[in-house]
Amino acid sequence: MKFEDVILVSVDDHVIEPPNAFTRHMPAKYKGREPQVVQRNGRDVWVFEERATGYMGLNSVVGRPKEEYGMEPLGYEHMRRGTWDIKARVDDMNANGVLGSLCFPTFPGFAGQRFQSYEDRGVSLAAIQAYNDWHLHDWCNAAPGRFIPLLMVPWWDMQAAAAEVERMAKQGVHALTLSDNPTVHGYPSIHNDHWDPLWKACADNDVVICCHIGTGAKAAHASDESPIDAWITSMPISIANSAADWIWAPMWKKYPKLRMALSEGGIGWIPYLLERADFTHSHHHAWTMSNFGDKKPSDIFNEHVITCFIEDAFGLKNLDSINVDKVTWECDYPHSDCTWPHSADVFWAQAKHLSPEIIDKISHLNAMREFSYDPFAILGRENCTVGALRAQATHVSIEPALGLGGAAPVRDPNKPVTSGDINRMFASADAGTAL
């Protein structure tokens, strides 16, 4: 296989919602109450039901020099246009050699958790549905064949959630974003039958549950004095606790077709998790009463859990220890872990030792199958390769953009940036959103 012939589909990217995302899709009953962007203290802020959000762009720093990664975007002008403009996003995907992209939300929270705590459930549901319609029709369908659409649901009403899954699945949406641990947000655990109507709707409609790191169990800051590097290091592995919880959850027996994805979780740590899970079951099940029938915990994981990686040389050298048919690739555009515009080159450097069959599986075929995504039928396979896409992007500048601005953490050349520096920066910015 040649590098130019690789086809890349990313199952984890992010979108910064443009200012008018909700305007066209909010129902007449709630017109004027849709989430809106306002200017406050020199920054762009989303406001919904008189609540202002925190950061506009999180760490959407793609295209900046790495020296400026700590400057967090506070407005659209602080971010590369591809973060929120669909035409520019496709240009950036082409320049990166990336065919397809599944984009998690930003303002609503990666799992839509921001919409789950409002007293007026009617306007909350309307906002969720408006977001889903914008995401499908104005974002994904604006570039046919280039995106895997994603939906969110209300967590307080499982009948409404199941209905929303069915409504969107009929329009070709086969991915759902959900917290990996809803109890963090005040909702029942995944072991509670509260969620059964949602699990059933997903299983019946071939919808994958996507649990992004940070939506439930989060990497902990060891101390305010700890270098922020320590926290960044543990972010992907922080979902391991939830991964174990999902292995032992009851929905797999009830709905054997159900699948979930550990979005941005990496793969290098998974072989040990599965080894430990099987040991735990064999060593302890006599008194813990866990029952997997004639299966092992690792069988449940390998049958139902989709894994995802950005850079993971160790994981790619140990694919025989996990289910290679569930391994997928991710880009993480526009966040700081993203390697744009060199993502294809990084993938090839780490994966080229593998057979063409395995490369095709982990680069695009697994993602296409698991997410019911067929860009070849729309674009033609020959137009979907790294070489073909980059040939369409000769007009796209990939030079680092200097001085885009934002909120810079305190920098001292005599010590590293710490968790405390970052936490104080976030607290200061959050204070700037006060109504």
pLDDT tens digits, 62-73:
999 998 887 789
Mean pLDDT for 19-40 is 96
Distance, CA of 18 to CA of 147 (rounded, Å): 17
**Are the beta carbons of 223 and 419 closer than 8 angstroms?**
yes
The residues with which 103 forms a beta bridge, in sequence order, are: 13
Number of domains in the chain: 1
Here the tokens at position 403 are 């001085």
Q: How many CA atoms lie within 13 A of 32 on its CB side?
A: 1
The pLDDT value recorded for residue 430 is 64
Q: Which residues have CB under 8 Å from 273's CB, separation 6+? A: 240, 243, 244, 301
The pLDDT value recorded for residue 52 is 93
**Are the beta carbons of 343 and 349 closer than 8 angstroms?**
no
**Are the beta carbons of 17 and 395 closer than 8 angstroms?**
no
- State the Cα angle at 52 between 47 and 53, rounded to 5°: 105
pLDDT tens digits, 144-174:
999 999 999 999 999 999 999 999 999 999 9
What pLDDT band is residue 371 in, cutting at 50, 70 and 90?
Answer: very high
Closest CA to 74 of 431, 312, 392: 431
Closest CA to 239 of 290, 175, 178: 178
Residue 435 in this model has a pLDDT that exceeds 60:
no
What range defines the domain where residue 217 resides?
3-431
**Are the beta carbons of 347 and 8 closer than 8 angstroms?**
yes
What pLDDT band is residue 426 in, cutting at 50, 70 and 90?
Answer: confident
Here the tokens at position 63 are 């295209």
**Are the beta carbons of 152 and 185 closer than 8 angstroms?**
no
Residue 6 in this model has a pLDDT that exceeds 70:
yes
334 upstream amide cis, omega within 30 of 0? yes
Cα dist. 201→135, 205, 329, 341 in Å? 20, 6, 26, 38
Q: Which residues have CB under 8 Å from 80's CB, separation 6+? A: 60, 62, 63, 88, 92, 334, 401, 404
Closest CA to 154 of 192, 122, 181, 193: 122
**Are the beta carbons of 405 and 71 closer than 8 angstroms?**
yes
What pLDDT band is residue 433 in, cutting at 50, 70 and 90?
Answer: low
**Are the beta carbons of 298 and 23 closer than 8 angstroms?**
no
3-state secondary structure of 8: coil
Q: Chain-centre distance of CA 391, in angstroms?
A: 28
Q: Chain-centre distance of CA 297, in angstroms?
A: 25
The pLDDT value recorded for residue 413 is 85
The pLDDT value recorded for residue 94 is 98
Q: Which helix (H) or strand (E) holds 306?
A: strand 305-309
What DSSP line would sit under 87-120, residue for residue?
A: HHHHHHHHHHT--EEEEE-STT-TTSGGGGS-S-
pLDDT tens digits, 301-354:
999 999 999 999 999 999 999 999 999 999 999 999 999 999 999 999 999 999
CATH of the domain at 140: 3.20.20.140
Mean residue pLDDT of the chain comes to 95
Amino acid at 420: G
Distance, CA of 286 to CA of 99 (rounded, Å): 49
Closest CA to 69 of 427, 425, 331, 415: 425
Q: Which helix (H) or strand (E) holds 283?
A: helix 270-288
Here the tokens at position 45 are 């802020």
The pLDDT value recorded for residue 422 is 84
Strands (E), 127-192: 147-148, 175-177
**Are the beta carbons of 179 and 209 closer than 8 angstroms?**
no
Closest CA to 1 of 351, 302, 293: 351
Distance, CA of 435 to CA of 426 (rounded, Å): 17
Closest CA to 324 of 312, 351, 306: 306
**Are the beta carbons of 162 and 204 closer than 8 angstroms?**
no
The pLDDT value recorded for residue 144 is 98
Residue recorded with tokens 């019911």: 372
Mean pLDDT for 239-246 is 96
pLDDT tens digits, 40-53:
988 999 999 999 98
The pLDDT value recorded for residue 412 is 83
3-state secondary structure 288-299: HCCCCCCCCHHH
Mean pLDDT for 55-68 is 89
pTM of the model: 0.97
